[in-house]
Amino acid sequence: MSHRDVGSRRLKLTRALGDALATLPRLWIGAAGVLALLLAACLAPVLVEGLGAASAGTTGAAVVLAVVAVGALARLSITPSLKAARDLGLGPLGLQFRWPELRLVGAALLCLIFLAMIVSVLGVIVLAIAGGAELNVEAIQARDWAAVGAPWRLAVVGAVVAGALIIPLVLTVRLSLFAQATLGRRQMVSLNSMGIAYGSFWALLLGLIIVNLPKIGLFALIASGVLGGVTASVVGAITLVAVQLPLTMAFLGAAYRQLEYWSPEEAK
């Protein structure tokens, strides 16, 4: 892909959502095998008695299969056809574990370490400012807000806490294209993925909220008591594995295709 200026790379959300829905069937077909195995690994401890002692094994299998599934779905989401995805290393029915999968794991770990460092620093800042504000801890515990402290001090602490919550959200959204970038560029891409999403934070955030509606609806049904017990586990696993994961990856792939500016010549 040729280099493009930032202005021409602003995410067109409606187009990205439409492309995601259009490519979703291809993602299901191309990754059918790994999605079926991942779903089985998630449901096995729930549906099969006697697997409680082997929960660590099934959890480990689910984690590995999740990495394989993300690799397969990322390949399918950034390419126009199954043939093109196979040229990127897609295995039969999405079953492959090659260097790109290891790069995905490495990129994910780097992103998580970066976010953990940011959260730790923000936590220290919040604690330092809250401590310096000399707020009444007993009043906070009793929820007697009038006796907590001066309003301006509460406003300062509140602003700092809001910033501490917003900053990780912004970084998480801007890092969300790391899997597609790692597969598309054929090299490990972690923090550099923020450059791809530059200027499109709000569109990406809104798009992620929209495509995560199945998961939000699932949690709402569980929280309201409509779903519970084994039923909640089964419906939850099916929703998250068969619907939510492919849909999210389809949207991120559509966004990546719009926003990517890197070309193979830049690696030389």
Contact 258, 83 (CB under 8 A): no
Q: Please report the pLDDT score of residue 255 as a whole number.
A: 96
- How far is it, in rounded angstroms, from Cα 188 to Cα 108? 9
Close Cβ partners of 213 (under 8 Å, ≥ 6 residues apart): none
Q: What is the CA radius of gyration of the chain?
A: 22
> Per DSSP, which regions of 25-182 are E strands?
none
- How far is it, in rounded angstroms, from Cα 203 to Cα 207? 6
Decide: pTM greater than 0.85. yes
**pLDDT tier at 135 (50, 70, 90 boundaries)?**
low
Contact 73, 27 (CB under 8 A): yes
Per-residue pLDDT reduced to its tens digit, 69-98: 999 999 999 999 999 999 999 999 999 999
Q: Please report the pLDDT score of residue 80 as a whole number.
A: 93
Contact 200, 10 (CB under 8 A): yes
Q: Is the model more confident about 60 or about 72?
A: 72
Q: Please report the pLDDT score of residue 51 as a whole number.
A: 56
The amino acid at 107 = A
Per-residue pLDDT reduced to its tens digit, 141-190: 666 666 666 677 778 778 888 888 899 999 999 999 999 999 999 999 99
Q: Which 8-state DSSP code applies to residue 81?
A: S
Q: How far from 150 is each of 58, 130, 142, CA to CA, in Å?
A: 53, 13, 17
pLDDT of 197 strictly over 70: yes
- How far is it, in rounded angstroms, from Cα 164 to Cα 160? 6
- How far is it, in rounded angstroms, from Cα 102 to Cα 267? 20
